[in-house]
Amino acid sequence: MEFKFTAEDEAFRGELRAFMKAELPDTWEGAGRYPEEDDWDLNQVIRQKMAEKGWLTMHWPEEYGGQNASPVKSAIYNEEIAYMRAPGRDIFGVRMLGPTLMIHGTEEQKKTHLTPVAKGEVQWCQGYSEPESGSDLASLSTRAIRDGDDLVINGAKVWTTMAHRADWIMLLTRTDPDAPKHRGISFVLVDMKTPGVSVRPIINMAGGHEFNQVTFDNVRVPRANVVGEEDRGWYVAVTLLDFERSGIDYSASARRLLDDTREFATETKRNGQPIMEIPWVRTLMADRYIDCEVARLMAYNVAYMQSQDLIPTKEASMSKVFGSETVQRVTEASLDILGMFGTLNRQEKWAPLKGRVQEHWMNAFAGTIAAGTSEIQRNIIAGRGLGLPRG
Q: Judging by DSSP bridges, how do beta strands 226-227 and 273-274 pair with one another?
A: unpaired
Contact 58, 73 (CB under 8 A): yes
Per-residue pLDDT of the chain (391 residues; tens, 9 = 90+): 567 899 999 999 999 999 999 999 888 877 555 566 568 889 999 999 999 999 999 999 998 989 999 989 999 999 999 999 999 999 999 989 999 999 999 999 999 999 999 999 999 999 999 988 767 788 899 999 999 999 999 999 999 999 999 999 999 999 999 998 889 999 999 999 999 999 999 998 878 899 999 999 999 999 999 999 999 999 998 877 766 555 799 999 999 999 999 999 999 999 899 999 999 999 999 999 999 999 999 999 998 888 888 888 899 999 999 999 999 999 999 999 999 998 988 888 888 998 889 989 998 998 898 878 899 899 989 998 899 988 6
What is the predicted pLDDT for the residue at 28?
83
Q: Are residues 217 and 256 in the same domain?
A: no
Contacts of 28 (CB under 8 A, 6+ apart): 86
**Active-site residue, 132 included:** no
Does 96 map to a domain? no
What is the predicted pLDDT for the residue at 372?
80
Among candidate residues 244, 267, 277, 332, the one labeled active-site is: 244
Domain that holds residue 46: 7-89
Q: Are residues 288 and 371 in the same domain?
A: yes
Rg (CA), the chain: 22
Q: Are residues 193 and 256 in the same domain?
A: no
| CA dist., res. 252 & res. 242, Å (int) | 20
Q: Are residues 268 and 227 in the same domain?
A: no
| CA dist., res. 234 & res. 249, Å (int) | 26
Contact 329, 338 (CB under 8 A): no
Does 17 map to a domain? yes
| CA dist., res. 50 & res. 74, Å (int) | 13
What is the predicted pLDDT for the residue at 243?
63
Does 71 map to a domain? yes
Q: Are residues 174 and 265 in the same domain?
A: no
Does 166 map to a domain? yes
What is the predicted pLDDT for the residue at 391?
66
Q: Dihedral sign, CA of 100, 105, 107, 113?
A: negative
Does 95 map to a domain? no
| CA dist., res. 121 & res. 65, Å (int) | 13
| CA dist., res. 166 & res. 180, Å (int) | 32
- Which among 232, 238, 104, 236 has a CA at the least distance from the CA of 176? 232
Domain boundary among 208, 232, 256: 232
Domain boundary among 66, 89, 112: 89
**Phi then psi for 289, rounded to 5 degrees?**
-65, -35
**What is the tally of structural domains in the chain?**
3
Q: Dihedral sign, CA of 213, 181, 377, 236?
A: negative
| CA dist., res. 154 & res. 265, Å (int) | 53
What is the predicted pLDDT for the residue at 232?
95
Q: Are residues 218 and 154 in the same domain?
A: yes
pTM exceeds 0.85:
yes
DSSP per position, 180-247? -TTSSEEEEEEETTSTTEEEEEEE-TTS-EEEEEEEEEEEEEEGGGEESSTTBHHHHHHHHHHHH--S
Burial (Cβ within 10 Å: 0-12, 13-18, ≥19) of residue 76: buried
What is the predicted pLDDT for the residue at 137?
81
What SS3 state is found at 174?
strand
Does 212 map to a domain? yes
Q: Are residues 277 and 373 in the same domain?
A: yes
Contact 146, 175 (CB under 8 A): yes
Q: Are residues 215 and 276 in the same domain?
A: no
Q: Which CATH number belongs to the domain containing residue 381 in this structure?
A: 1.20.140.10
Which secondary-structure segment (H or E) carries 317?
A: helix 313-338
What is the predicted pLDDT for the residue at 101?
96
